[in-house]
Structure 1
Amino acid sequence: MYSPPTDPQEEQAVRQAFDACCETLGLGRGGEPVWGFHGRTLSGAVNHPEHGMCWLRVVHAPMDKAQGKHWEGNAFASVLFDGRVQKPRLYETIEFLRDSRAFQGELGAFITEPVCSKEPVLREVLELPDSWWDSLRADIATVAGTKTAREAVRQEWVDRCVPQFLGIEPPQITEWETAHGDLHPANLTVGTPWLLDWEGFGVAPVGYDPAMLLAYSGLVPSIAERVRKEFPILDCPAGRTARIVVATELLQSVSRGDHAELEQSLRAMALQPE
């Protein structure tokens, strides 16, 4: 989950990379950095001489895998969405190699609002005003209407994995739109809301972002019900396809040891007819 890498040497290398980014960019440390999903990132508050308080995110990968969708996602998202939706601005990106690993530092705006959940799975009821939902719907619509060549979901993956994890025929996706790609409560703040962590954005089935939020809200029925109310696409044929795709993705993650508590609600979400 959100924890350091299992290899102590890798953990040390990432911490050193974080320090190197701070030195290169002239940043002052603003507190102890925190680990991302399975230790893939290390992020923390920093002070920049021009921008003031910022957020530094360091991502790492073996040199031969330091490319593609997740490596480039936040930089591409900044070009398309900074200033258009409630997204923290990306100020600067640096990359460097050490030993056999690549590191990328992303310096962005610091968001003071707390996130809706400290982990992707929502476990507590949230009191979110109508204005919160209005803003989220507007931003999702803006993202959906933005053209990109990036792919978040591929039909080939759907054809292979839906029968494997749900035991049903895979849906043929006929309606596509651009999606944030990882719209869960840990990537949304409680106030504005700000939409965080854009590395996975790309073209996906229509309704994909609402389906992702619904999936991660499955343990809190009142919020899951509100998601369905705010996004009626989820109860249309296209939305059912999105629910199946998202459930399959997360069931694949469950099979790898993540969020086993969601399995029952994911299957119910996927198999419920429109």
Structure 2
Amino acid sequence: MQEALVEFWGWAGRTLGIPARTTAGAPAWLRLVSAPADKASGKLWDGALDAQHAFGDLDGHRPALLGVHDAVEDAVAYRAELSARIDHPVLSGDPILQHDLELPDAWWTDLAGVLEKVSVAGTDRVAVRKPYMDRAIPEFVGIPAPTVTCWTTAHGDVHWANLTAPLQVLDWEGWGGAPVGFDAAMLYAYSLQQPDIAARVRAAFPVLGSPAGLAAEATVCAQLLQTVARGDNLNIEAPLRDWTAEPCRRSDR
């Protein structure tokens, strides 16, 4: 029986994905990204390929990249990435979790383990830049940028539309260096509409609420409040502003 070829557009139409098969008939996922030829480089362009070299399939928790093909036509660069296809749907159709989830303890243990393995990987890639923190945290959070006690490697975009159960962590475009706790803070922010899940995120990642996690939390607050100012993520504006008060209080101690 022939598979239904349903197209999936990425954020702002930057990417296009579709189910595919390898030449051997194995299920795969084909993702196409394009950019002006003179801009076809850098963190987002090479993220998936760099992640494959750095992490492989992360003990089965990351879809392996099977092949890459580049082409240029009419001053536009195209990159086709063929990855192992995941059989399980993402946990949310939107980065913001808008329904309750029942996830076993093992899922949370797996997630913490994956992010710990990522955190110790060496890289010169950057997910969060200090100049951005110095500018955005005062503007959107209202405090000076906290001192980063430790820089680690982060996935950079851990939210509910990039996670499945059993655990697979998807979308590795933006991974790189970030303040310790950044991925946990990002997932917590996208959980704010579901207090039970938000509490479970805090339990799984004790860096949240700690002095070490302050810089990451303030950065995520700034990033998402900046998106709110642009008209995005408005449905979490109120809980996000409530959470923002916490790093403000901690910065005054």
> What is the CA–CA distance in structure 1 between the aligned matches of 2:178 and 2:79, rounded to whole Å?
26
Corresponding position: 1:67 with 2:41: yes
Give the corresponding residue for 2:66.
Answer: 91
2:18 aligned partner, one-letter code:
G
Kindly, what percent of the aligned residue pairs are identical? 44
Displacement of 1:123 = 0.2
Change (3 A) 1:63 1:192: same
Instruction: Report if aligned partners of 1:240, 1:270 keep a CA contact under 8 Å in 2.
Output: no
Superposed, which structure 2 residues align to 1:187-198 within 5 Å? 187-189=162-164, 191-198=165-172
Query: How many Å apart are 1:175 and its aligned residue?
Result: 0.9
Structure 2 residue 144 is matched with structure 1 residue 169: yes
The reply to whether residue 54 of structure 1 matches residue 54 of structure 2 is no
Matches within 5 A, 1:193-272: 193-272=167-246
State whether residues 163 and 169 of structure 2, in contact with CA within 8 Å, keep that contact through their aligned partners in structure 1: yes
Give the 3-state SS of the residue equivalent to 1:107 in structure 2: strand
Paired amino acid for 2:131: E
**Any stretches of 5+ residues in structure 1 without a counterpart?**
1-27
Partner of 1:114, secondary structure, is coil
By how many angstroms is 1:30 displaced? 4.9
TM-score by length of 1: 0.86
What amino acid sits opposite 1:50 in the alignment? A
SS of corresponding position for 1:38 = helix
Partner of 1:233, secondary structure, is coil
CA distance in 2, matches of 1:53, 1:119: 24
Question: How many angstroms apart in 2 are the aligned matches of 1:240 and 1:165?
Answer: 15
Q: What residue is the counterpart of 1:16 in the other structure? A: none
CA shift, 1:264, in A, is 2.0
The letter for the 1-side match of 2:45 is W
Work out whether 1:159 is the aligned partner of 2:139.
Answer: no
SS of the aligned residue for 1:151 comes to coil
1:111 deviates by 0.1
Is 1:77 aligned with 2:19? no
User: What CA deviation, in whole Å up to 9, does each residue of 1:68-93 have, x standing for no partner?
Assistant: 10000110000111133410000111
RMSD: 1.5
Distance in 2 separating the partners of 1:61 and 1:252: 25
Once structures 1 and 2 are overlaid, which stretch shifts more, 208-217 or 160-169? 160-169
* CA distance in 1 between partners of 2:112 and 2:15 (Å): 28
Q: In 1, are the aligned partners of 2:156 and 2:183 still within 8 Å (CA)?
A: yes
Unaligned runs of 5+ in 2: none
Letter in 2 for 1:93: V
TM-score normalised by structure 2 residue count: 0.93
CA contact (8 A) 1:135 1:192 kept: no
Task: Give the Å deviation of 1:269.
Answer: 2.2
Contact 1:69–1:199 (CA<8 Å) still a contact in 2?
yes
Q: Secondary structure at the match of 1:88?
A: coil
Name the count of aligned residue pairs: 246
Q: Distance in 2 between matches of 1:215 and 1:223?
A: 11
CA distance in 2, matches of 1:214, 1:73: 23
The answer to which structure, 1 or 2, has the higher relative contact order (CA under 8 A, 6+ apart) is: 2
What amino acid is aligned across from residue 42 of structure 2 in structure 1?
G
C-alpha distance in 2, partners of 1:63/1:83?
29
Please give the secondary structure, in 2, of the residue aligned with 1:159.
helix
